[in-house]
């Protein structure tokens, strides 16, 4: 039986108990699930998304989210798969994190130092965690951008081939095969 990459990702998400949100899964599947784009992003906001994703998955011995172009996936999912309420929350989160960084450092998020960016994202995460525990409204911005950055990165060519172990023509599946301590996790 041959399965394609999309089917494999669907099966993994099902095995994980659906831990990937419906919009992120729709983005992986290349589906458009909303009835229109309710927000559009300026060049400055796209640069902000790139900067945030690059703090979440920075370049180390492998290229980071920026090199992988994770922002393209993020923009597609937000514009094509998020509901109006989710798009509004994402947009408001972008505006807020940039304004918070500017009020604390005098610089917007993109111009801030790496330490200042991490501090701003940590504050955003803590604030989002409180909102998530209170179960108020849509998913908090930090958790949206973190999920989208991660999924966008690991489903990109760079993420799948350089950060993960990739075998373009797989053999049999062996779920109990031990990994060498220095071996990367397998890509789908």
Helix, strand, coil shares, percent, the chain, to 5 = 60, 0, 40
Give the domain range for residue 121: 5-163
Report the alpha-carbon distance of residue 118 to residue 183 in Å, rounded. Answer: 28
Mind listing the pLDDT tens digit for each residue in 52-89? 999 999 999 999 999 999 999 999 889 888 888 889 99
Does 172 reside within a domain?
A: no
Does 180 reside within a domain?
A: no
Report the alpha-carbon distance of residue 65 to residue 72 in Å, rounded. Answer: 10
Query: Mean per-residue pLDDT for 119-136?
Result: 88
pTM: 0.73
Does 174 reside within a domain?
A: no
């Amino acid at each position: 039986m041959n399965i394609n990459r999309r089917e494999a990702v669907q099966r993994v998400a099902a095995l994980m108990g659906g831990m990937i949100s419906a919009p992120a899964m729709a983005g992986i599947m290349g589906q458009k699930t909303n009835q229109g784009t309710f927000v559009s992003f300026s060049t400055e906001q796209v640069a902000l998304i790139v900067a945030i994703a690059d703090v979440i998955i920075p370049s180390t011995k492998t290229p980071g989210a920026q090199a992988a172009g994770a922002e393209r996936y993020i923009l597609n999912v937000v514009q094509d798969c998020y509901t109006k309420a989710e798009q509004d929350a994402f947009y408001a989160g972008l505006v807020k994190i940039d304004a918070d960084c500017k009020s604390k450092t005098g610089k917007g998020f993109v111009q801030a130092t790496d330490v200042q960016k991490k501090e701003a994202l940590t504050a955003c995460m803590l604030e989002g965690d409180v909102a998530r525990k209170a179960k108020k409204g849509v998913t908090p911005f930090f958790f949206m951008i973190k999920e989208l950055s991660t999924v966008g990165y690991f489903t990109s060519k760079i993420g799948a081939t350089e950060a993960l172990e990739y075998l373009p023509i797989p053999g049999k599946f062996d779920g109990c095969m031990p990994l060498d301590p220095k071996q990367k996790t397998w890509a789908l």
